[in-house]
Amino acid sequence: KNEVEQSPQNLTAQEGEFITINCSYSVGISALHWLQQHPGGGIVSLFMLSSGKKKHGRLIATINIQEKHSSLHITASHPRDSAVYICAAPYSGGGADGLTFGKGTHLIIQP
Amino acid sequence: GAGVSQSPRYKVAKRGQDVALRCDPISGHVSLFWYQQALGQGPEFLTYFQNEAQLDKSGLPSDRFFAERPEGSVSTLKIQRTQQEDSAVYLCASSLEPGGYGYTFGSGTRLTVV
């Protein structure tokens, strides 16, 4: 089973700061997912990436397959970015049998 | 529909009661997954369907948990004789591709067993 570790577990920052959330996994994978979950809300898929870097608005996700590590960055952070960010990798690496999730990073952006 | 729909949104059950949670995936999505998310934790895999076939049920915590997807679309997760430790959010996700890439998640069903 893939083990997924995220850091930090909790992060509080001021509006406008550059945010980095890290994720490492134990088993080589085909693709890694970054997800966002607002309090009391459902999960939204932000990115699925298998190599390099993806950007969507102020969100950037990078992955280093060799080092089994991925990062999620938020530029010019805003209070509406406050949420739990979850990294998820295929359960056994292949992707056909579900995801293993990290425990999430609780992000609070203060105005 | 436009997204993955789960019902009910909230369910309170008395200990020992049976419950049924419904997931209506995006039309045409081949893969369907169920996850259990305890308070303050990340989701944990329960089971996976490819069309109507349940290919992996290794995450189901006990034989009180049963899932089905008889026609390859709507899925039901049934929990028999609910226990307090079953209290969690149950998430459903679907994907167009067999490998489960490009997941769309439902909003979840919050089950509270009292």
Cβ-proximal residues to B13 (8 Å cutoff; 6+ apart), any chain: B19, B82, B111, B112, B113, B114
Cβ-proximal residues to B66 (8 Å cutoff; 6+ apart), any chain: B60, B77, B78, B79, B80
B76-105: per-residue pLDDT in tens?
999 999 999 999 999 999 988 766 567 788
Minimal Cβ distance to A101: which of B43, B47, B99:
B43
Minimal Cβ distance to B42: which of A48, A86, A96:
A86
Question: Could you tell me the two tokens for A24?
Answer: 């490492």
Q: Do B99 and A95 touch (CB under 8 A)?
A: yes
Q: Which parts of chain A register pLDDT below 50?
A: 95-96
Q: Does any CB of chain A come closer than 8 Å to the CB of residue B101?
A: yes
The mean pLDDT value of chain A amounts to: 88
Radius of gyration of chain B from Cα atoms? Answer: 13
Distance from CA of A38 to the nearest CA of B (A): 10
B30-49: per-residue pLDDT in tens?
999 999 988 877 788 899 89
pLDDT band at B66 (very low <50, low <70, confident <90, very high): very high
Distance from CA of B103 to the nearest CA of A (A): 7
